[in-house]
Amino acid sequence: MQVPTMLEIKNLHVSVGERKILNGLSLTVKAGEVAAIMGPNGTGKSTLAYVIAGREGYEVEGEVLLDGENIFELDPNERAAKGLFLAFQYPVEIPGVATMTFLKAALNAQRSARGEAELQTPDFMKRVKEAANKLGVTQDMLRRPLNSGFSGGEKKRMEILQMALLGPRFAILDETDSGLDIDALRVVSDGVNALRSSERGFLVITHYQRLLDYIKPDTVHVMAQGRIMKTGGPELALELERHGYKEYIGEAA
């Protein structure tokens, strides 16, 4: 049986004002696949994540299909309801809004957008507690305002908790390893690995090989100069670790 394509990006051009950031990027991720994107700083990796998730303020050409449907006309919340999740490189603080309140509002907004019944509090609490225990997220964190005063590691764990709770079809992890010590990296990676399934795709953005020791990718794409320069298997990540990105930057310059 042929594995269906989950995310398909066709000839994506993105610019902000005069500055061109993505330059004809194409990429395909199949159901069940974990694809890694590696590339030097400032090459447009985070922009790619934002554009897929629907952040505005970019001039965009090309197509992004999720499960065969063009999602470019959809607002970010509509894309979320279709099962798209972005774990932010810098999760945002929302003062005064208890984490638990935020999680419940988000989950129920997605459920009602999909025509599903809203989750009642006891059921919701149970799910949050299960996910929280696995990720070492404390009750105290759940009571505090979302991400306010959280350490870098706590914020990243909270992102993975939200991913586990929302159960997306397709998740993008934007430099989830940045700011994590080795123990936190293990916890976060275990959280991601637990969600791997044939029904779910991942796009893991990083510029270090380190994360890929824990989250083993099926495919590795090298991104530079706003497009994919090379695609391969896990061995490509190791090669990059040894030789760096010089070759790719040089090639385009």
Partner 1 sequence: MAALRETVERVDAIDVDAYKYGFFTDIESEKAPKGLNEDIVRFISAKKSEPQWLTDWRLGAYRRWLTMSEPKWARVDYPSIDYQDLYYYSAPKSTPGPTSLEDVDPELLRTYEKLGIPLREQEILAGVENRRVAVDAVFDSVSVATTFKEELAKAGVIFCPISEAVREYPELVQKYLGSVVPVTDNFFATLNSAVFSDGSFVYVPKGVRCPMELSTYFRINEKNTGQFERTLIIADEGSYVSYLEGCTAPKRDENQLHAAVVELIALDDAEIKYSTVQNWYPGDSEGKGGIYNFVTKRGDCRGRNSHISWTQVETGSAITWKYPSCILRGDGSQGEFYSIAVSNGRQQVDSGTKMIHLGKNTKSRIISKGISAGRSQNTYRGLVSAHRKAEGARNFTNCDSLLIGDKCGAHTVPYIESKNPSVQFEHEATTSKISEDQLFYAMQRGLSAEDATALIVNGFVRDVLQQLPMEFAVEAQKLISISLEGSVG
> Contact positions toward partner 1, by CB under 8 A?
50, 53-57, 75-77, 79-81, 85-86, 88, 91-97, 101-102, 105-107, 109-110, 113, 145, 162, 166
Residue number with CB closer to partner 1 (166 or 203): 166
State in angstroms the smallest separation of the CB of 224 from partner 1: 26
Residue number with CB closer to partner 1 (148 or 198): 148
- 6 in Cβ contact with 33 (< 8 Å): yes
250: left (phi over 0), alpha (psi -120 to 50) or beta: alpha
C-alpha distances (whole Å) from 177 to each of 115, 157, 166, 187 are 35, 11, 21, 11
State in angstroms the smallest separation of the CB of 78 from partner 1: 9
State in angstroms the smallest separation of the CB of 207 from partner 1: 22
116 burial (CB, 10 Å; 0-12 / 13-18 / 19+) is exposed
State both tokens at 135: 């990720």
State in angstroms the smallest separation of the CB of 226 from partner 1: 22
State in angstroms the smallest separation of the CB of 152 from partner 1: 16
178: how many CB neighbours lie within 10 A of its CB? Answer: 14
Using CA atoms, how far apart are residues 23 and 55, in angstroms rounded to an integer?
18
Residue number with CB closer to partner 1 (85 or 150): 85
Residue number with CB closer to partner 1 (93 or 241): 93
Residue number with CB closer to partner 1 (164 or 212): 164
Using CA atoms, how far apart are residues 244 and 253, in angstroms rounded to an integer?
16
